[in-house]
């Protein structure tokens, strides 16, 4: 077995595991152990999980299947596929989602590339909050039979808008993004999930593509990372679009504009829901009050962190 000190040996180098060379091939378990150790030494926290996910992908099988197949020998072609993935993960720190080209969100599979933010689990808090507001509106007198209008601002892969399209069969859903390449991915996801006719996808800066329109619920997971933090962030983030992550020195440039402009695009009694970084919650609440919003709410993610702020545009 290689000592794994060089990347050329990664995941069974040229002299290892080649069934055709007459040497004993590596087994699933041996490869997983080797790669986990290699990833740990490369500074990857989720070393074992990443090794399993990538090996399952290279073998075109389910991750759980690996546990049944621990003693199965790996073929040379499979090992070559795996080695390429392992090297990109360890040396370039490409996120697993981009190596696989997909990520699950709201139990749906989304295509992801370097043109979009990989949807994060905490963003499901935003989807839940939006569903709560739409549910309350549908039961109340607010809509009077008209379809509820939802806007997802900065849609990226389309994760939020498409999840809402599945949950809200009668809502009118619009999704916008400043990035044309991101909108292309959102369109592909809408096609793949058979929801293309359910969402209107528009390009432009914040509310500019919907300048004269009003919505009952505006949701946004905008860029909110402080640019000052750039140097201290995990290397994986360098593979995601800067436009999706950073928003000025304190991370609030886009959120401030969003809060200031949202009142012109909300129906009376409509809701604005914004994902943010927990330490930004108090200052954003102050901005919302200043802009004239009422009924401010915090929504907590699975880690019990305040992750989404909700605020209502006054009825009168
Ligand atoms: C944090 S990502 C969120 C992507 C997706 N909604 C999600 O939750 O996974 C922010 C998105 O906002 C877009 N964006 C950044 N600035 C924008 C602006 N001024 N107007 C519209 N979209 C913007 C980015 O291109 C990116 O797709």
Query: Within this chain, do residues 72 and 22 fall inside the same structural domain, yes or no?
Result: yes
Alpha carbon 281 to its chain centroid, in Å, reads 21
Query: Within this chain, do residues 226 and 182 fall inside the same structural domain, yes or no?
Result: yes
What is the CA(222)–ligand 1 centre distance, in A? Answer: 5
CATH of the domain at 261: 3.40.50.150
Nearest-CA residue for ligand 1 atom 2 is 244
pLDDT of residue 177: 98
33 within some domain: yes
Q: Which range marks the domain in which residue 193 is found? A: 102-312
Domain boundary among 92, 118, 134: 92
Query: Within this chain, do residues 50 and 172 fall inside the same structural domain, yes or no?
Result: no
Task: Give the pTM.
Answer: 0.92
pLDDT of residue 131: 98
The residue among 43, 99, 80, 107 whose CA lies nearest residue 235 is 43
pLDDT of residue 138: 80
Mean pLDDT in each 10-residue stretch from start to end of the chain (316 residues)? Answer: 38 42 82 98 97 98 97 95 98 98 98 98 98 87 76 98 97 98 98 98 98 98 96 96 97 98 97 98 98 98 98 94
Query: Within this chain, do residues 288 and 210 fall inside the same structural domain, yes or no?
Result: yes
Query: Within this chain, do residues 233 and 296 fall inside the same structural domain, yes or no?
Result: yes
Instruction: State whether the beta carbon of 112 lies less than 6 angstroms from ligand 1.
Output: no
Domain count, the chain: 2
Instruction: State whether the beta carbon of 154 lies less than 6 angstroms from ligand 1.
Output: yes
Instruction: State whether the beta carbon of 174 lies less than 6 angstroms from ligand 1.
Output: no
Instruction: State whether the beta carbon of 277 lies less than 6 angstroms from ligand 1.
Output: no
Query: Within this chain, do residues 62 and 161 fall inside the same structural domain, yes or no?
Result: no
Query: Within this chain, do residues 165 and 261 fall inside the same structural domain, yes or no?
Result: yes
268 within some domain: yes
Phi then psi dihedrals of residue 277, to 5 deg: -85, 135
Q: Which atom of ligand 1 is nearest to the CA of 154?
A: 12
pLDDT of residue 7: 38
258 within some domain: yes
Who's near 54: CB < 8 A, 6+ residues apart? 35, 82, 85, 86, 89, 96, 99, 100
Query: Within this chain, do residues 298 and 209 fall inside the same structural domain, yes or no?
Result: yes
Looking at residue 235, what DSSP letter applies?
Answer: G
Give dist(CA 270, CA 313) in Å, integer: 5
Query: Within this chain, do residues 47 and 129 fall inside the same structural domain, yes or no?
Result: no
Helices 253-262, 281-291: inter-axial angle, 10-degree rounding:
30
What is the CA(212)–ligand 1 centre distance, in A? Answer: 21
Query: Within this chain, do residues 84 and 191 fall inside the same structural domain, yes or no?
Result: no
Query: Within this chain, do residues 32 and 178 fall inside the same structural domain, yes or no?
Result: no
Query: Within this chain, do residues 30 and 164 fall inside the same structural domain, yes or no?
Result: no
97 within some domain: no
What is the CA(276)–ligand 1 centre distance, in A? Answer: 12
1 within some domain: no
pLDDT of residue 98: 98
Who's near 299: CB < 8 A, 6+ residues apart? 125, 126, 128, 129, 273, 306, 307, 308, 309, 310
């Amino acid at each position: 077995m290689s000592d794994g000190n060089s990347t050329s040996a990664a995941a069974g180098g040229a002299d290892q595991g080649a069934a055709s060379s007459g040497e004993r091939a590596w087994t699933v378990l041996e490869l997983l152990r080797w790669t986990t150790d290699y990833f740990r030494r490369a500074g990857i926290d989720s070393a074992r999980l990443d090794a399993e996910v990538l090996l399952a992908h290279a073998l075109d099988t389910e991750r759980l299947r690996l546990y049944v197949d621990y003693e199965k020998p790996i073929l040379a072609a499979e090992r070559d596929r795996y080695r390429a993935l392992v090297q990109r993960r360890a040396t370039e720190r490409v996120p697993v989602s981009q190596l696989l080209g997909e990520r699950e969100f709201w139990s749906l599979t989304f295509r992801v590339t370097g043109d979009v933010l990989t949807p994060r689990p905490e963003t499901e808090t935003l989807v839940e909050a939006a569903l709560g507001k739409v549910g309350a509106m549908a039961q109340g007198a607010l809509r009077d039979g008209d379809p509820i209008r939802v806007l997802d601002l900065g849609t990226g892969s389309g994760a939020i808008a498409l999840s809402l399209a599945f949950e809200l069969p009668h809502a009118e859903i619009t999704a916008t993004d400043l990035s044309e390449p991101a909108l292309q991915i959102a369109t592909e996801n809408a096609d793949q999930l058979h929801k293309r006719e359910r969402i209107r996808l528009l390009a432009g800066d914040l509310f500019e593509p919907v300048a004269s329109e009003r919505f009952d619920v505006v949701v946004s997971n905008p860029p909110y990372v402080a640019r000052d933090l750039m140097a201290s962030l995990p290397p994986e983030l360098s593979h995601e679009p800067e436009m999706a992550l950073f928003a000025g020195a304190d991370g609030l440039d886009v959120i401030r504009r969003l809060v200031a402009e949202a009142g012109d695009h909300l129906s009376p009694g409509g809701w604005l829901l914004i994902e943010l970084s927990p330490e930004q919650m108090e200052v954003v609440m102050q901005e919302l009050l200043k802009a004239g919003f009422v009924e401010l709410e915090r929504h907590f993610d699975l880690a019990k962190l305040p992750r989404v702020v909700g605020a209502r545009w006054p009825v009168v």
